[in-house]
């Protein structure tokens, strides 16, 4: 047996790692919303800080590295995936943006942990939309195995509009 016999198992591992990583990317900013909007409730914030830490360190980072390692291994085993109309290059580019986004969540987590932050709940609500649109682009390229400038442009425009609307929303009266 050679390693290519395990290629599909590597793909399965990659998909599972991506799902775990995305869970953190979708939920971590929501914790930041709770943290910033309830900063006057010390006991609540202390519990949220623990959740933020564990979600990022024990789920997000390991899943991100598992995603990266399995993705690199897949490309090593199948370099032909880099041929074609550029869909894999686009996927990699937007995956790199997800990696940067992931590290930015670590930056904000540290700021929140040290009570050294100025971002609002609305900022984190809007920021929470970023991985959704990056994942739409990535999944679109992977499923269609094509790069579409129109799809990319329309998705980015829609994302920018939605993020702006979420950021500018007024706080609901309780």
Return binding residues for heme: 14, 91
CB atoms within 10 A of CB 71: 18
Contact 33, 121 (CB under 8 A): yes
Q: Which of 94, 105, 111 is nearest to 156 (CA)?
A: 94
Question: CB-based contacts of 30: which residues, under 8 Å, 6+ apart?
Answer: 124, 128
Distance CA 23, CA 14 (A): 14
DSSP state of 85: S
Distance CA 139, CA 135 (A): 6
Distance CA 67, CA 15 (A): 8
Tokens of 142: 């992977």
Displacement of CA 44 from its chain's centroid (Å):
25
């Amino acid at each position: 047996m050679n390693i290519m016999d395990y290629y599909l198992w590597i793909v399965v591992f990659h998909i599972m790692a991506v799902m775990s990583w995305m869970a953190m990317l979708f939920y971590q900013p929501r914790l930041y919303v709770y943290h910033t909007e309830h900063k006057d409730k010390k006991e609540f914030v202390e519990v949220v800080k623990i959740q933020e830490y564990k979600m990022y360190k024990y789920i997000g980072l390991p899943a991100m590295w598992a995603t990266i390692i399995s993705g690199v291994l897949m490309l090593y085993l199948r370099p032909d995936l880099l041929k074609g109309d550029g869909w894999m290059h686009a996927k990699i580019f937007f995956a790199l943006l997800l990696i940067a986004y992931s590290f930015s969540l670590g930056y904000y987590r540290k700021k929140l942990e040290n009570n050294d932050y100025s971002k609002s709940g609305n900022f984190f609500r809007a920021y929470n939309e970023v991985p959704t649109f990056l994942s739409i682009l990535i999944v679109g390229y992977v499923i269609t195995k094509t790069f579409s400038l129109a799809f990319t442009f329309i998705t980015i425009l829609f994302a920018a509009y939605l993020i702006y609307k979420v950021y500018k929303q007024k706080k609901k009266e309780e």
